[in-house]
Structure 1
């Protein structure tokens, strides 16, 4: 009885068919890269202060009507108040000069009752400053409405979390290919509709639906490629190919945003090109492995025979003899509660959830914070995206040659040290702060990429998909709190860095208690995992002979 990989071995690993699937699936993931971080520019808050109506004020009072405050050691104009306009107008009419004839600290202040004036030095408009309906309605997500700005990002990530939770089940029921193209359509259509949002509530609801397609698209493409490709090509695709496709889309975002400074134009530019993915439907096949699991042997064989023609090889008369029986053999049912019944498995699951939560929190915090770190948010965002390319390559190399536990601990500690050091950098050395943050981003990205494989290697076959899905879902809670964690900088500039660094140190310590999986066979039963997973803290692991990385069919 031959398994699936043996049955299609005659195709080879890198023929025309595999090349087409590899590169088209990587390209299909690119919208996830720019879609995940569009809010870096669309949801950013421009420099602003209270709007002063066109009234008869002297030049001195025009300059002095906005109070000056000390923010993070620097003098800045108040964003949410001004001196009372009627009082200032009377003082100006009487010829008083501010600071000489009038002590400004004694003047009464008022809210921005006439709205706000936003700087257009960086953005023409964002959803924070957008004006609608001929000046009748304005988003104005500042001051008393400022909570809506981080909440907008949180709603998006809640959509991503829900998509992450349901995508695997939809893919298992309806197939990999339909879910892949349906989620691409969700992202494209709802990104386009967002351009016509007439209120913050409408924009936020559409953003949530858009988020449903984000992770679902990534999962469907990852699973489809992992099931079609085999051998070393499958490892390359699952560990680096998909991630580089994501990074390519991420790098495209700041380039488009630089030339399209209006948020509507940017969203329109990001949605329309996705129509180019429509022809992919005729080139990307359904997963033969999934078809076999559904008993659709003839459809699976048709795809493989088409692949044989593309690769110019001769297919055997019967491709999947007894293969379907091998894939559909009776199995004992396991569920999420089996992750909690055994003490060692329960502890392993909790630690992995915590470490994954830390990784994703750090990843999105550092990705979304780049627009605030440097004077030019476009350069900062591009650097942040470019850093991911060597990070994913490093992750692939670490998975091949180094112990898992040592690799994860190293990435967490490097990230923690760089984040703690940022607060010690003088204000005049902004490039050094940027370098330290990018070092932290590189390290966290490397570790986050490795966690999928590490998690898959620790669990037995009967729990592998369930465990990885649980860890991934919990980790996405980190992305949901990211906007509010970054908003803590209004109270103390370095508080987000200290929080992320502390989480990284705690996670590094917790990782010491995880079992090592490098060079060891994957556990097949819960009993095997229980024996391997007893809580120990060996600071030095024995050397193991490296073996090929075996990746999960559905790591998310």
Structure 2
């Protein structure tokens, strides 16, 4: 019955269409099914809520494991029940000043090490740092929680490869369920089971590690592949803006809860609200085509067309033409995975370096923003930083759809970032307000650089390698994020200024390498597939494409 309908539909369409364009692509089929219609908008909203969870998890450390102000507890024979950080009266303040070492918060005035401390809960509330006393000689343990979170996303290179093999949908489902269920189990143990902080610490480490292996990179790719190339920039940047939304959400959660474990539970509640949607997560049409899963591709396109109010007559003939067209034959005759990766090795190396340098600069610039904590609360500082970051993403979105395209937009934002980095050493010691301004401009610039690179890198590669290429960008970016604070801590204040010049020089290296990469603004995803194949028919096909160009307003 269905086959008869398809045949009649094909006959009807072919009789009505006087001329069928030769260059039929999935791009054109998607446009006919509804480009950025109700189907795409619904999934963009829910997928971006999952993307926002990455920002929530990433900034948990800022509040849940923050180091509050603290002082040594007064001996009981001097002041009974000394359990408030603020002084009660002038006598209490005098005793604090008399007993506390003027040079170290970890020592008494006689040089002995404090064993009990009083913490200021007016800003962060009760933190994991307070419960475990991860200060003074134990402060290194607190940094482990941050380092573990930065190491976790390095596994994105594995999830990227898997997403190219089994699809975007399954990877998003598995990772989202994992980062919800496993932390909930750990939090139950922390909440219910009596245990020492020595037992809680490894559980918290594991919690942080699991929370960091999120599906953000795969969601980013799926958003770009759900619509035509006209909306790739908007779709990709929506995920980055959602990340900044997550920063604001976790700040609000932290301000309300003021307790590290309650904050964890609130984060889990956010994930719980998204669990129902995982069943409806769509698969990428481009991935289905690249893997020759034509039945599933047809079902996917039917769902898109139906939701967007498009009749079969508007798109089905072109879908059949796409499957039969010899260009699809080129797509499905591809060299081995090893040969494909080897052929793209130079581009992958450049993309890895872009990820490394951009995250190195992102973390470096963030240190300048720490000066704001002297005049503004950390909650307000995070919100302002998130807004500036969002403006950077939006500005990059507009820059990429102008004549600058992807390549020159990346160069412009990288130069802007480099300029801010070079200026900062000259002003950070004596001009704190100017440092704040330049740091915020630097954050806007580096946010724009990150935005362009996240759009540009996946567009350089075919569908079968897009997840892997994005994973390479994330993988080396995390190395930059881990290395930046280690370098500053090792060099100290005396030599840390040198790093600004080194990072600026690395930015210039990136700019030179980007000049050798192609522009991708007006390229269809199918064109990237074409260029990735070694089939000799490709050359003939390219000649035909010059004779029958596809008109696109791809941006």
TM-score (norm 1): 0.76
Alpha-carbon shift at residue 357 of structure 1 (Å) = 0.8
CA contact (8 A) 2:52 2:245 kept: yes
- Counterpart position of 2:102: 68
Instruction: Quote the Cα distance in structure 1 between the aligned partners of 2:470 and 2:298.
Output: 30
Post-superposition Cα deviations, 1:415-435, rounded to whole Å, max 9, x if no partner, equal 344345445447796444322
With over 3 angstroms needed to count, the CA separation of the structure-2 counterparts of 1:223 and 1:471, relative to structure 1, is closer
Q: Which residue of 2 aligns with 1:262?
A: 259
Match of 2:224 among 220, 223, 226: 226
Counterpart contact for 1:374–1:434, Cα < 8 Å:
no
CA deviation after TM superposition for structure 1 residue 331, in Å: 0.7
Q: 2:154 aligns with which of 161, 168, 178?
A: 161
Of 46, 53, 61, 2:68 maps to 46
Give 2:480's aligned residue.
478
Q: Which residue of 2 aligns with 1:315?
A: 312
Matched position secondary structure for 2:100: coil
Distance 1:191 1:231 in 2: 37
Residue 335 of structure 1 pairs with residue 338 of structure 2 = yes
1:25/1:547 CA distance change after superposition, 3 Å: same
Q: Is the 8 A contact 1:371 1:381 kept in 2?
A: no
Of 178, 183, 194, which aligns to 1:186? 178
Is residue 80 from structure 1 mapped to residue 106 from structure 2 by the alignment? Answer: yes
Distance 1:55 1:427, change over 3 A: farther
Q: 2:359 maps to what in 1?
A: 360
CA 458–281 in structure 1, closer or farther in 2 if over 3 Å, else same: closer
Give unpaired runs (5+ residues) of structure 2. Answer: 1-21, 80-90, 191-196, 535-550
Aligned mates of 1:424, 1:119 — CA distance in 2:
34
More moved, 261-270 vs 310-319 = 310-319
Structure-1 residue corresponding to 2:8: none
Aligned length: 481
SS at match of 1:512: helix
C-alpha distance in 2, partners of 1:433/1:289?
A: 46
* Of 261-270 and 193-202, the range deviating more from structure 2: 193-202
Q: Is the 8 A contact 1:408 1:447 kept in 2?
A: yes
TM (normalized to structure 2)? 0.76
How far apart are the structure 1 equivalents of 2:51 and 2:208?
Answer: 19
1:358–1:503: 8 Å Cα contact kept in structure 2?
yes
Question: Does structure 1 conserve the Cα–Cα contact (< 8 Å) formed by 2:366 and 2:443?
Answer: yes
Aligned-residue offset at 1:509: 3.9
Evaluate the alpha carbon distance shift between residue 295 and residue 525 of structure 1 in structure 2; reply closer, same or farther with a 3 A threshold.
Answer: closer
Alignment of 1:12 onto 2:12:
no
* Structure 1 SS opposite 2:478: helix
Cα distance in structure 2, aligned partners of 1:312 and 1:403: 32
Cα distance in 1 for partners of 2:161, 2:465 equals: 15
What secondary structure sits across from 1:117 in the alignment?
strand
Deviation per CA, 1:157-212, whole angstroms, max 9, x where unpaired? Answer: 111111x1111223233332222122222233344345454521110012111111
- Residues 1:306 and 1:451: Cα distance change in structure 2 (over 3 Å): closer
Match of 2:51 in 1: 29
- What is the rounded CA distance, in whole Å, between the counterparts of 1:426 and 1:242 in structure 2? 33
Tell me if the contact between 2:106 and 2:136 (Cα under 8 Å) persists in the aligned partners. Answer: yes
Query: 1:98 is matched with which residue?
Result: none
Spell out, residue by residue over 1:286-334, the C-alpha distance to the aligned partner (whole angstroms, 9 max, x if none).
Answer: 3344344455433332332233222222114667436557276121124
CA 1:438–1:178 in 2, change beyond 3 Å: closer, same or farther? same
Cα gap change, 1:154 to 1:388, in 2 (>3 Å): same
Q: Distance in 2 between matches of 1:458 and 1:275?
A: 36
The alignment status of 1:271 with 2:273, answered yes or no, reads no
Residue 126 of structure 1: how far off its partner (Å): 1.6
Distance 1:152 1:498, change over 3 A: farther
Task: Point out the structure with the larger helix share.
Answer: 2
5+ long unaligned stretches in structure 1: 70-77, 85-108, 131-138, 529-545, 551-556
Shift in alpha-carbon separation, 1:5–1:350, aligned structure 2, 3 A:
closer
Q: Is contact 1:194-1:207 (8 Å) kept?
A: no
Select the structure with the greater relative contact order (CA < 8 A; seq sep ≥ 6).
Answer: 2
3-state DSSP of counterpart to 1:68: coil
Describe the superposition over 1:102-140 as per-residue Cα deviations: whole angstroms up to 9, x where unpaired: xxxxxxx1222x23222223122222112xxxxxxxx12
Contact between 2:372 and 2:436, CA under 8 Å: does it hold in 1? yes
**Residues 182/486 of structure 1: CA separation in 2 closer, same or farther (3 Å cut):** farther
